[in-house]
Structure 1
């Protein structure tokens, strides 16, 4: 056990980051093993566009829970890879509507069996005594009621 592990709840952000890094690293290895040229960081955008075939940038950012600049950065990468395309909204010229390109749709078709296997493996990993996904849902709900900053401020 290292000092971060010993620090308990104080290092929750670091521990979650470590877990996230490992999942992304293994995710990249999985895609590579199946000859799929895909970065795990692209997942929220591609998955959302698969389920919501046309969506604005603002709606996408809200849907994936990312800040607008982070979303724009991902979109630029995906446009460069020709996995997504955009067009101006006919009703509002300021809005850009996003969708999967033909190449993006073909990629999703190839990834679906891999996503199924990943889902099954992730269920095995997280279906523990204290089910991680249920715990994350509970913590996210707590955040909607009152954030970390407000809670600390109240303790001082």
Structure 2
């Protein structure tokens, strides 16, 4: 049975994507718990990015994960408090902070690798549909780079 939001079609795309994201995050949390790994899914973008690119500045991390600078700072503070990352001063620019995984952070990544493998396998079975969501997301992101939702609405309003 569909609710009002489901029936509203494109008008509720943001709500439905948020709902899907929330469910994936909740299930992700349960999967980490299933494997006995103490990890918050919201930490994933930073931890994974620093695992892939071991030394980055705050701005570089924000760009890599696609978050605003203030949101990134907030997440970094939380991860520093958990002692999963640490910052050090850039030798060439004293104002710049460089972030790295700590030994605890690297140990956590090693614990998470089998979890990530399970997640990829599970998500593959979930998303391998005739309308593959990852391909669709990539297409929409490419379109939004050309012209945002807001810019498109402005053009339509001008024509009214």
The alpha carbon displacement at 1:53 in A equals 0.4
Say whether 1:112 aligns with 2:145.
no
RMSD: 0.5
**1:74 is aligned to 2:83:** no
- Displacement, 1:78? 0.4
What's the CA shift for 1:34? Answer: 1.1
Shift in Å, 1:126: 0.8
Aligned position for 2:134: 133
TM-score by structure 1 length?
0.99
State yes or no: 1:23 paired with 2:36: no
Match status 1:37 vs 2:35: no
* 1:98 match: 99
**Any stretches of 5+ residues in structure 1 without a counterpart?**
none
For 2:143 and 2:95, the matched residues in 1 are separated by 35
2:17 and 2:129 mapped to 1: Cα distance?
A: 16
- For this pair of structures, how many residues does the alignment match? 156
Distance 1:95 1:127 in 2: 42
* Corresponding residue for residue 50 of structure 1: 51
Alpha-carbon separation, structure 1, partners of 2:155 and 2:125:
38
**Distance in 1 of aligned mates of 2:17 and 2:95:** 37
**In structure 1, C-alpha distance between the alignment counterparts of 2:8 and 2:26, rounded to whole Å:** 25
Secondary structure of 1:35's aligned partner: coil
Runs of 4+ in 1 over 4 A off after TM superposition: none
What is the match of residue 90 of structure 2?
89
Partner SS, residue 83 of structure 2: coil
Deviations 1:101-142 (A, max 9, x none): 000000000100110110011111111111000000000000
TM-score of the superposition, structure 2-length normalised? Answer: 0.97
